[in-house]
Amino acid sequence: MARLILASSSPRRKEILKQVQPQFDIITREVDETVEALLAPEEQVMTLAIRKAEAVAKDNVDAYVIGADTLVFYQDEALGKPKSYDEAKQMLTLLSGNTHFVYTGTCIFHENKKQVFYEKTKVTFWELTEKEIEDYIRTGEPFDKAGSYGIQGYGATLVKEIHGDYFSVVGLPIAKLYRTLTQMGFTFAINK
């Protein structure tokens, strides 16, 4: 049976994949997460997804290896994970009352061949008061998340509208991933 590997340390990506496939392994390698800021958003997330998947695929050529990367873009500026309280406050203040885009790049390696794609989701935030932003940051939720929020947690209260794939905002566009893996020859447990 073909082996499926999620090359990610994100607990959210693991939960989403588990929702449709009970059996897979998690193997991660440290990769350089810097990327040329002048690249288009989709190129940035796909470049990083390829890097994450490739680092694991080179020792696991027979497996199907999945890498993913999520970035929030507001007016062409990439918002990654905040490094401090102040940075989280700055990001959430930018996003308040405005529309931004969440890009997730996904890459699958199998037998030295790769498939890469991205999803773009449009998210609009409610207008937030300074107290709302500060209360939210104190939950601790912003710190390991691109754009300083998690739509799947308390962050749900910040979101007015979303157009596109919810799961891609959380970190893994599962429907497109399922379809791409199936096209590449992987058989999910549900299809056996």
Active site residues: 69
- Give 39 or 187: the residue with its C-beta nearer to ligand TTP: 39
CB of 113 to ligand TTP, least distance (A): 21
Least Å distance, CB 93 to ligand TTP, is: 16
**Within 10 A of 139 (CB to CB), how many other CB atoms are there?**
12
Smallest distance, Å, CB 169 to ligand TTP? 5
How does DSSP assign the chain, residue by residue? Answer: ---EEE----HHHHHHHHHH-S--EE----------TTS-HHHHHHHHHHHHHHHHHTT-TTSEEEEEEEEEEETTEEE---SSHHHHHHHHHHHTTSEEEEEEEEEEEETTEEEEEEEEEEEEEPP--HHHHHHHHHTTGGGGSGGG--TTTGGGGGEEEEES-HHHHHT--HHHHHHHHHHTT---GGG-
Of 69 and 165, CB closest to ligand TTP: 69
Which CB atom, from 147 or from 180, has the smaller least distance to ligand TTP?
147
- Residue 68 CB, shortest distance to ligand TTP, in Å, is 6
Cβ proximity to ligand TTP, 161 vs 187, nearer residue:
161
Binding site for ligand TTP (CB under 6 A): 8-10, 12-13, 28, 52, 68-70, 72, 81, 102, 144-147, 149-152, 155, 169-171
CB nearest ligand TTP: which residue? 8
